[in-house]
Amino acid sequence: MTHLAPFHLREHGKRILRGAIWNDTKFLQSVNVMDYSLLVGVDDDTKELVLGVVDYIRTFTWDKRIESLFKDLGGAGGKTPTIVTPKQYKQRFRSAMERYFPLVMSFLSTIITPLIPPCCLGTRSMDEGTRGAR
């Protein structure tokens, strides 16, 4: 799955996934962890999507700080540094998850949304986050 072949979610599923990703990445940043991934699978019995954050062992220690500094100073050959702080990694991960799991528009939302004034739509970015699924 990539941003070129995303997995579209309905509103309820998107809200649950966004809340879980928000909480998990907030925790991982708080313990100084970076370089994690999302594992996606399908349960054969229930045909439900199964997700989990994996590879969350790497912390942002002094060696990663030095590597990041070296790459920031041009040691990456002019490319964007791949070593980023846990905060930057959290933001990049959340942004990627928004692209990989976009919201599918329902028929009802295409009827109701035009009737709602733009000021009342309450658009929020992933970095503003959700405080949990309702």
DSSP assignment of 8-52: -B-HHHHHHHHHHHHHHHHHHHHTTB---EEEEEE-TTT--EEEE
Residue with tokens 């739509």, as numbered in its chain: 121
pLDDT of residue 52: 87
Indicate whether this model's pTM tops 0.85: no
In a domain, 99, yes or no: yes
Q: Which domain holds residue 15?
A: 11-103
Residue range 27-46, pLDDT digits in tens: 999 998 888 889 888 888 99
In a domain, 68, yes or no: yes
**Opening angle at CA 60, ends 57 and 61, nearest 5:** 105
Mean pLDDT of the chain: 74
In a domain, 17, yes or no: yes
- The whole-angstrom separation of Cα 65 and Cα 85 is 8
In a domain, 118, yes or no: no
Residue 91 reports pLDDT greater than 90: yes
Q: 127 or 101: which carries more pLDDT confidence?
A: 101
In a domain, 24, yes or no: yes
In a domain, 132, yes or no: no
Residue 23 reports pLDDT greater than 70: yes
Domain count, the chain: 1
In a domain, 134, yes or no: no
Average pLDDT over residues 84-110: 84
In a domain, 95, yes or no: yes
Residue 48 reports pLDDT greater than 70: yes
